[in-house]
Chain A
Amino acid sequence: MNKELEHQFVTNLEKNQNIAHKICRIYTNDKDSHNDLFQEITIQLWKAYPKFRGDSKFSTWMYRVALNTAITLYRKKKRSIPTQDYDSVHFKIKSEEYDDEVEQHLKLMYDAVRQLNDIDKALVFLYLEDKNYAEISDTLGITEVNARVKMNRVKTKLKNLINP
């Protein structure tokens, strides 16, 4: 029975692992923390899996648990990480590849996203994942109206970060 559960879980996780990797991209700056967060997400998912009844899709459930993990973990560390130091390693590498103006702008955007707080990052992430407001509100456990209001605020925040 338990073996069966493990097999089911790992198969689902393997198919949907991109979700976790993308969350790690938004929340972490280097490969090591990416791997740490990924592992933490995996463990949290596995712990929560017995409670997953299958009344939603695995991916929907995974968005919720994985984002919660990232938010909780990030919140714990928040005080020790100054936002100024957020100049990320893998975006530095990326920046060498950015040659024209559009790409330069993209780099600025990514940097700005990294400076957002834990919840705002989750909002941006879900937006980038093409989720509609109903899905966003469901995943984050807030009302749809609240999600819209928050998203608008995030957009303003991003604008201010890019053109100070």
Chain B
Amino acid sequence: MSETAAVDAQVRGAAGVPLLAVDGVRKRFGGLTAVKGASFTLAAGEIVGILGPNGAGKTTLFNLLTGFIAPDAGSVKLDGHELKGLAPYRIVNRGLARTFQLTRPFLGMSVLENVLVACLAPRVRHRMASEEHARRILDQVGLREKAASPVEVLPYGDLRRLEIARALATDPRLLLLDEPFAGLGSSEIEPLANLIKRLHREENLTILIIEHKLREFMALVSRVIAMDFGEIIAVGTPAEIVRHPRVIEAYIGRTEGDGAAA
């Protein structure tokens, strides 16, 4: 208990004015508690990683934050406004966008149309509902040449970029990326990492990234929240996290990088 409190203090200490405040969010599925009372905050402009082996509850936590799953308890506040209980699309329109770990494009539509749909979200519709705007976003993620292709023929790496483009089209203040590097070859990882860095810097986006491998994002994030078995076990800089005994025990100790615990 005291340890959790210490972790909490650490989180709050690290944040300035919290853009996102997650407090005691909990979710049970049948007998299994997928997320056991997660609490943390994000300051505006931060880029933070959530680290944990497969099955640690990271994606469930994302689903809880974005309204795709209703939490049993706790609160999620974006800029002081409660998000809990809102439908997922409403949360997006409050400025919290996400990507899916398994890419989920709109089939039967072109790349441009995929992004255009998100430009029609009420939050941005009045100023962004145009092909020009959708094209600008495709530019940002490096998919301009693919605008007219049907999504069905898109290689995997481009689908990952399309996920990000769709999220960006809703002009989020906070972007949640669910394992953006999953399934990518080593030659594709660095350009994508650079894209995320650029978005963080140029668009002043606050970004929360899930990753279950250490290597990919240790250089990317300024702070890491480590999870295991549905609990936040440690928070700190990447350098602190890799030395944290509970992280080493729960995670690195098991298998190098791949979290075979699942």
The judgment on whether A and B are partners is no
| Chain B interface residues (CB < 8 Å from chain A) | none
| Chain A interface residues (CB < 8 Å from chain B) | none
